[in-house]
Structure 1
Amino acid sequence: MTLHQNALGRSTVRVTELAFGAAAIGNLFTPVTDAEAEQAVHAAWDAGVRYFDTAPHYGLGLSERRLGAALRSRPRSEYVVSTKVGRILVPTPEAPGDDLANGFAVPATHRRRWDFSAQGVRRSIEDSLRRLGLDRIDVVYLHDPDDHLDRALDEAYPELARMRDEGTVGAIGVGMNQATPLTRFVRETDLDAVLLAGRYTLLDQGGLTALLPLAADRGVGVVVGGAFNSGLLADPRPDATYDYTAAPPDLLSRALDLKAVCERHGVPLRAAALRFPFGHPAVASVLVGLRSAAEARDAAAVLTHAVPDALWAELKERGLLPPHVPTPEEAG
């Protein structure tokens, strides 16, 4: 099975519409075994996924090591790997406890040090290449530079641009869960892509105000993360989470209304949530965090589930989507 691929902005990198988010196989919140992580990657591959996203932050390097090991037998020309820079992993020989305070169920063998300097970018990529077991990285994102915008713009971005020119990396971008600073990067730099988490979903179209139109105008590809808003759009129920905290009652009610409309059209809410971002021409891929083979197979199945035009029309008629929001049937 193969999934449709899109160019990532103006770069030569092409990505599948479904991207494997590898934070979960870095033991995000709960442990995953080596075997389960490998099975998840292999199931995604069998389902047609050829774009895999990771970061040093995820499990203090565990995600990168597991992803690299799982892909080792695959032809290197057939898949795309993205990782991120901005956090250097510094060994802590005393290994004090675990890393759950940062969200990962791994021993605290390292600590993270923010570093958006040019030297830090080089070191981070060298470390990632070693953990992944690769000789090149296809896409590198500046990771969460929210509190380091000036240094990321003045030092980290130019170094990434040099590495792109050298051929060390194929495409460069920025990944954040805020649309406004990403808009600044798109306006002031020559990025290939942005990874926007949680701000272009059925519940939150904040990215549409400025970022997505500007990205389309400048030829910058958009990878949408957090299409389920951390769980609410996957399975809306009273204990569901929205952006990793308890879902507010009004958003839960809206998610349940979205689910009801989807069910009337015979469509899982998850399918509509994953297909929705592709209504905008700047969107190249949707990234889903996966921790098991079953989740990988399900994500591919719901992404390719047919969503009738009438569903999008009803969502707008009922005020569950604003009338100006582009939807997939309009994109053709």
Structure 2
Amino acid sequence: MTNRRTFIKSAAGLGASLSLFANFKARAQERPAPRRPLILCSRGEEWAEKVLQPGWDVLEAGGDILDAVEKSAQVTELDPEDQSVGYGGLPNENGVVQLDASFMDGRTHNCGSVGALENIKTPSSVARLVMERTDHIHLVGEGARQFARAHGFKEENLLTDKSRKMWLRWKENLSDKDDWLPPKDGNYDLDKRPTGTINILALDSKGDLAGCTTTSGLFGKLPGRIGDSPIIGAGLYVDNEVGAAGATGRGEEILRTCGSFFVVEQMRAGKSPREACQALCERIVKINGGPDKVDFNDKIVAINKNGEAGCFAIRGPKNKPPEAAIITAAGIEIIKGSYLIET
């Protein structure tokens, strides 16, 4: 026989269980259904369809996630009008285009990268081959070029006329104490040194993740300079259990914070992609001594295992938030982020 005390205790336990179930159900309803497959690029509306659709076509046809990422990364690399990546990229101090790229497969944690690669239009493809065909992770300079040639890549001059003229104007205006004379029309903004990078992050229908970061680096950089883009854990990191992250902007700051790895670990601890990207921006500002000491910018993008996406940046105008773009079965969506420091 059940006495009154036992009944009350059992009823209280049942009530607690029902309460916990209700809370769990409420949390489950708050969490959006997984969006798989998904591809993200670190650019906004202008580039979204051009970059994302080729990779999406690969996934829709049942292709491998690495092929999808590579296909999307090649769009900007092969476009001579884009001065930040691949062909027509921003040259270094000597007027030579040196490219960096990294590739990572979340299923295996395998990764590959190239740095200071010359004369090859698609460094993302070379980085993937380093990952798949060697037991190394990083090849640079002449070694990276020879590796690309051995795998059939055609050597070409990457400096387009548009990029050459931009480099020449930069040289002519760099100092008023040298022998270079600026052009008479002289309409060139020297306060901003252009940078250029693109991140591609993908999640397939099985929940597997992969990513690529590709760049021509900082305009006018010292020959041989390597930024964060080809460094695994800095410009790119992918973990199949958690998510993926990539960075653009001032690479030195991403390098010294292990930026993309930091973002993935923030997501592992429970933060959303946007919150994790913000956490890295806050860390970078803090180690530089606060907002008044920050005269550079970084933008971070991320996706998680559930198909959520986010971005965040350090600086920018209030009316122009940082953007990323994703493509899913529902179509293309522009992801709006925010800034820590309004300019």
Structure number, greater radius of gyration = 2
In proportion to residue count, which structure has more helix? Answer: 1
The two structures have a TM-score, normalised by structure 2, of: 0.27
The two structures have a TM-score, normalised by structure 1, of: 0.27
